[in-house]
Amino acid sequence: MAAGILDSYVLSIPSAQNALDIFRGEWSSKFPPPFGHLVAGPLQLFQDPRVEWALSVLGGVANKTVLELGPLEGGHSYMLERGGAARVTAIEANTRSFLKCLITKELLGLQRCHFLCGDFVHYLRESRETFDVCFASGVLYHMLDPVELLASLSLHTDRLFIWTHYYDDELISNNQALRPKFSPGTPHSTAGFEHTLFRQEYLTALEWSGFCGGGRAHSHWMTRADILAALKFLGFKEIITACDEPAHQNGPAFCIAATK
Ligand SMILES: C[S@@+](CC[C@H](N)C(=O)[O-])C[C@H]1O[C@@H](n2cnc3c(N)ncnc32)[C@H](O)[C@@H]1O
């Protein structure tokens, strides 16, 4: 009987595609030129207008330190390094995503991005390190306690970029695909900020090995108004929003740039 370990060997000439194929079918991102021909995923996360907007309104990242939460496959990390960041510290909890980030780092020759494998909530609770800019794209709605994340971030930076989904009763109750994932809102208080949390179940999304949500089977979403009020409550004085997508297929979403 053939040993299963032999399935882990690549018997063809070395190539970038071989590296991507370790996670074939699990990539979300399309690689940028000169790797655009490679078979990976469909999303333009290496050429993402949300990141371009953040860089334009937060004064760029040239020579700045950046904390990136949940890099997934390193697309935004790549854009931050190309934007001149002095150092990008990117924390990823999903081990498959972490390894995909390392593949990206090797293929694209990233020099100033450093990927840490673990939970950024724990990191933010325990670390005293501060950063010129924090990128929290695609992570707030994966939290059990989203305000705890915002409160922790407010202790680590004065400049914050967020892209997130938010709960909107009308938009979500009128959407047949999204409605079954949510429970009615419950009042909650974190760090003295009163708000409403809406429990969201990942359901069948957990069946895909390229799953890119949080580490539990559910998370809590907030309303748009509560997210903005929480940022004000936590001391962010200038708050700009953009890229509003109320009809986004995974739920209403928007971008926020917040500075103290
Ligand atoms: C939806 S993806 C967002 C990817 C990318 N930042 C973007 O905006 O396109 C969420 C990422 O955060 C990671 N993640 C979720 N919760 C995390 C946590 N507590 N600590 C570290 N990474 C986490 C997931 O594994 C995933 O890679």
Residue pair 81/88 in contact by the 8 Å Cβ criterion: yes
pLDDT above 70: percentage of residues in the chain: 99
Say how many C-beta atoms besides its own lie within 10 A of residue 238's C-beta: 11
Write out the two tokens for 205: 């999304």
| pLDDT tens for each residue of 36-53 | 999 999 999 999 999 999
Q: Do the beta carbons of residue 172 and residue 178 sit within 8 Å?
A: yes
CB neighbours of 23 closer than 8 A, spacing ≥ 6? 96, 99, 100, 103, 210
pTM (predicted TM-score): 0.97
Three-class SS state of 47: coil
Query: Mean pLDDT across the chain, nearest whole number?
Result: 96
Q: Give the mean model confidence (pLDDT) for residues 2-24.
A: 93
How far is 103 from 99, CA to CA, in rounded Å?
Answer: 6
User: Structure tokens of 1?
Assistant: 């009987």
How many angstroms is it from 72 CA to the middle of ligand 1? 6
Q: Ligand 1, residues 68, 92, 202: which to mutate, most atoms within 8 A of Cβ?
A: 92
Q: Find the DSSP H helices in the chain.
A: 16-21, 49-57, 75-82, 95-108, 120-126, 146-156, 169-173, 224-233
Extract the tokens encoding 164. 């997130």
Question: Between the CA atoms of 53, 95, 117 and 42, what dihedral angle is there, to the nearest 10 degrees?
Answer: -10
pLDDT at residue 78 is higher than 80? yes
pLDDT of residue 2: 64
Ligand 1 pocket, residues with Cβ under 6 angstroms: 45, 70-72, 76, 91-94, 97, 119-121, 137-139, 142, 163, 212, 214-215
**C-alpha 97: how far from chain center:** 11
Confidence of residue 104 (pLDDT cuts 50, 70, 90): very high
